[in-house]
Amino acid sequence: MASPLKCDLCGKPATVHLTQIVNSKMHKVDLCEACAQAKGVTDPGGFSLADLLLKASMNPDASGAVEAGNSGAAVCPSCGFTPSDFKKHGRFGCPQCFRTFAGMVTPMLDSMHKGTRHVGKVPHRAIERRSLHDRLVELEAGLIAAIKAERYEDAARLRDELQQLRQPAASLDLTRNAAPASPPAATSSSAR
């Protein structure tokens, strides 16, 4: 090595060199003592190379992709987060952000993970509960519309279906404690 390597984060001479292969791609990170310390390379609890790669992918010359990729939306409708917030924090604002900024997330994942599609555990109960909830809302709306339009046959069918679906919903609610009743969840319905 003829010329000393520079710190990827601040440009000072680098003394800490890390190499890692993620998803069969080689990644190198060079850091100065101070940045290594700050990024938790010396803190057993906090260091993750992927984290650093993430920061590196957000430095000025790499951020063009971020800007171009951000599928039109500059602000997350659910939480008010913007791409520049991500550049600052390296974390997203809310679950909805992953939809809002999908164009920015997808290219990141490729260098960060083994694949880009989840193949593990699925929270079946939570999904069931939510799709049941969505279906109930849909049926209720349909019922009101049918009554308004005097389509009584449709209304009767919708009412029966609602009744059937509500039975398991009631017993599910018992196991959920008071969670759905808490008022500050106002943002959650709009987020779905």
Residue numbers at the binding site for another protein (CB under 8 A): 19-23, 41-51, 54, 78-79, 81, 85, 89-96, 98-99, 105, 108-109, 112-123, 125-127, 129-130, 175-179, 182, 184-185, 187-189, 191-192
Q: Which one, of 57, 46, 31, lies nearest residue 111 by Cα?
A: 57
Q: Could you give the angle at the alpha carbon of 171 between the alpha carbons of 179 and 134, nearest 5°?
A: 65
Nearest distance, CB of residue 51 and Zn ion, angstroms: 15
Instruction: Centre a 10 Å sphere on the Cβ of residue 91 and count the other Cβ atoms it contains.
Output: 11
CB closer to Zn ion, 70 vs 78: 78
Residue 137 to residue 131: CA distance in whole angstroms: 10
Residues 9-28 that bind Zn ion (CB under 5 A): 9-10, 12
Residue 81 to residue 101: CA distance in whole angstroms: 10
Residues 88-127 that bind Zn ion (CB under 5 A): 93-94, 96-97
CB closer to another protein, 1 vs 2: 1
Total residues belonging to the chain: 192
Residue 15 to residue 36: CA distance in whole angstroms: 9
Nearest distance, CB of residue 152 and another protein, angstroms: 36
Give the interface with Zn ion as residue ranges (CB under 5 A).
7, 9-10, 12, 32, 35, 76, 78-79, 81, 93-94, 96-97
